[in-house]
Chains A and B, each alone.
Chain A
Amino acid sequence: MIIIWLSRYMVPFVICYMIGFGLLSKRPVFDDFTDGAKDGMKTVAGILPTLIGLMTAVGVLRASGLLDALAGWLAFPARLLHIPQQLIPLTLVRLVSNTAATGLVLDIFETYGPDSAIGMAASVLMSCTETLFYCISIYFGSVKVTKTGFALPGALAATIAGVGISIFLSYL
């Protein structure tokens, strides 16, 4: 319960701490705030083109049914690796969209219950992975990097490790 409490009070605490510290340092805190917020606006405006490009691509991939088909093709190799069938679409969607992946997790919760092994695996999977393509596009898109070096294989390795350990821990 202390964890819930800590998490709930984290955001207000951080905000109050920053502002309080600024006041104690005799800073013009509101000027500082507006300067920072201006930079934030520029940042968001800067990544908007990347965001539109990525999200439309993901939209086409999902709406065309190709993502579901991909999950279907992966069902057989997944069975050989003892990966639960429901986690295949979740893993694929997790790479491209946090919102869509959350939707799939809630489907799993509704069908199997959050305390089932599959519900647990889905919960852990969401907790130890990130939206890979979103992160790469946003972070590299913002600095106009298109040759991504070893970022993609590394990120995939971390994600596969996350999916693997989620299943292992939940079906132990």
Chain B
Amino acid sequence: MLHYLWSFMILAGMIWAVLNGTVDAATQGLLDAAKDSVTLSLTMLGIMSFWCGIMEVGSRAGLLDWLTGKMDPILNFLFPRLAKNHPARKPLAVNMIANMLGLGWAATPAGLEAMNKLKPEGHQHTATNEMCVFLILNISSLQLIPINMIAYRSQYGSANPLAVVGPALIATTFSTLVAVIFCKVVDR
């Protein structure tokens, strides 16, 4: 799927650029994006390494075991076939909690680790149901309070920047609910 998606994006973009005389812009866009991706990964390198370090401190102190325990009912519901002592449980719990709290930078490394642990033995290129469920949940957005949006709204002179909190909570609950229902219907 990713092969086709990626190829389509580049090929369609290039063909469109040729047909519309935006070839220079498209080429420049490609080069700029290549540079931006390295800049972004440098930022990520610093922030994600820091969070991984902090998480490791908490993990080795036994803090995350406690956290995983609290998340067990939710994990059991979402991933019913996941063994009780599966190594993916801890990063799954950390990823979800960090996402809810809006700590995106801490959520991503935990999520990547969870994905790695969810991968079955024998090196396949096919996503398992658990991997799909986990990804869909992440994309359904779990963040409870949209702190960035509140900041932008207040920066742009909103009379009530916090007005977004209620609707955002309802909306993110709804989109997550749709995600969970979808997964439960498909993953049987």
Residues of chain A touching chain B, judged by Cβ–Cβ distance below 8 Å, are 3-4, 6-7, 10-11, 14-15, 17-19, 21-22, 24-25, 27, 29, 32-41, 43-45, 47-48, 51-66, 69, 102, 105-106, 109-110, 113-115, 119-120, 123-130, 132-133, 135-155, 157-159, 161-162, 165-166, 169-170
Contact = CB atoms under 8 A, between A and B. Distances in A.
Provide the main secondary structure of the chain A interface: helix
A64 B20 contact: yes
A52 B35 CA distance: 8
Contact of A158 (B6, B40, B140): B140
A59 B33 contact: yes
A15 B60 contact: no
A19 B60 CA distance: 11
B64 to A, nearest CB: 9
A47 B112 contact: yes
Contacts of A33: 53-54, 56-57
Contacts of A47: 41, 112
Nearest to A16: B54
Q: For this complex, into which size category does the number of interface residues on chain B fall?
A: 35 or more
Given A40-B49, A128-B174, A148-B127, A135 B135 contact: yes
B133 to A, nearest CB: 8
Nearest to B153: A114
Query: How would you classify the secondary structure of chain B's contact residues: helix, strand, loop or mixed?
Result: helix
Contact of A53 (B6, B17, B171): B6
Contacts of B123: 144
B13 interface: yes
A144 B168 CA distance: 33
B131 A54 contact: no
Contacts of B63: 17-18, 21-22
A164 B75 CA distance: 28
A123 B54 contact: no
A92 to B, nearest CB: 12
A169 B103 contact: no
A40 to B, nearest CB: 3
A8 B97 CA distance: 17
B178 interface: yes
Contact of B152 (A3, A27, A109): A109
Given A36-B57, A165-B170, 7 more contacts: A22-B60, A27-B60, A57-B10, A59-B29, A60-B29, A114-B156, A148-B1
B116 interface: yes
Interface string B92-108: 00000000011100101
B128 A149 contact: yes
